[in-house]
Amino acid sequence: FIPDHIDGLGEMAMLRWVADNNSSPLPVYGPEGVTEVVAGFNQAYARDAVHRTDHHGTLVAPPSGAGMSPKSYALPKGADAVTVYASDHIKIEMIAANHFPITPAVAYKFTYKDRSLLISGDTVKSPIIEKHSAGVDLLVHEALSTKLVLLMAESAARTGNPLRERIFNDIHDYHTTPVEAAEIARDANVSHLLYYHIVPPLIAPGMEVIWLEGVDDVFSDTTLGQDGTSISLPANSNEIIHQSSML
């Protein structure tokens, strides 16, 4: 539950409520702690919810639909995964990740009919993630370039910025490198690897070459995710459809 992963949750819930006249709160599934997080967002948006109903009326903003409703799940003792949602064709599993000292940290695996994908969340290279990624169509995995981040730390040290130097030296030890994510994809026999949560941001021409250094030697079916990247997995097919529209 760190800001770069949840900071849009309040806006998403609000837009979902008023854009479609929803009469029940948005269910939010998550590990232990989700109840506390949802309560905080609900409190922060409580006055806004009243104003929207007063302004637009119950046709647009029925009071019963405001906010979110937490659905908290804990991993059973000795288990590394738990099913948090299941219907006729959809199954969602919450899987233990490793982002120590941040806990809980989880990944999610989505199975729809005969297609599947796993989203790693923030984590170091994890045998648990590899195990649950076995045979998935799409592995969506975070990655951080240690080489680039340590260059940033060195630059901060040279320019007399101990705060940034400390941060850059801290963050590389609880993420996965691009090559490590490729190793997981290879060893788990996944069909395609999509990189996301890319650190550092690749804002200068040529940075992606350094960031991806060594990846093709391990696993070649990869996409470097950007804002607007979309991948579809049609049911009853092995097709993986790539689309990209720069936002």
Of 88-92, 189-193, 227-231, the range with the highest mean pLDDT is 189-193
Distance CA 130, CA 31 (A): 20
Q: Please write the tens of the pLDDT for every residue from 15-45.
A: 999 999 999 999 999 999 999 999 999 999 9
Q: Mean pLDDT score of the chain, rounded to an integer?
A: 95
pLDDT of 244 reads 76
**What was the pLDDT predicted at 246?**
63
Q: Are 80 and 128 in contact (CB under 8 A)?
A: yes
- The token duo for 97 is 């990740």
pLDDT for the residue numbered 2: 86
What is the model's pLDDT at position 247? 58
Q: What is the mean pLDDT of residues 131-160?
A: 97
Angstrom CA distances, 118 to 112, 145, 153, 192, 212, stand at 12, 21, 32, 11, 21
With H, G, I as helix, E, B as strand and everything else as coil, classify residue 242.
strand
Domain ranges of the chain: 1-73, 75-247
Distance between CA 175 and CA 65 in Å, rounded? 37
pLDDT in tens, 193-244: 999 999 999 999 999 999 999 999 999 999 999 989 999 999 999 999 998 7
Q: Tell me, what's the pLDDT at 4?
A: 87
- The superfamily CATH assigns to domain 75-247 is Ribonuclease Z/Hydroxyacylglutathione hydrolase-like (3.60.15.10)
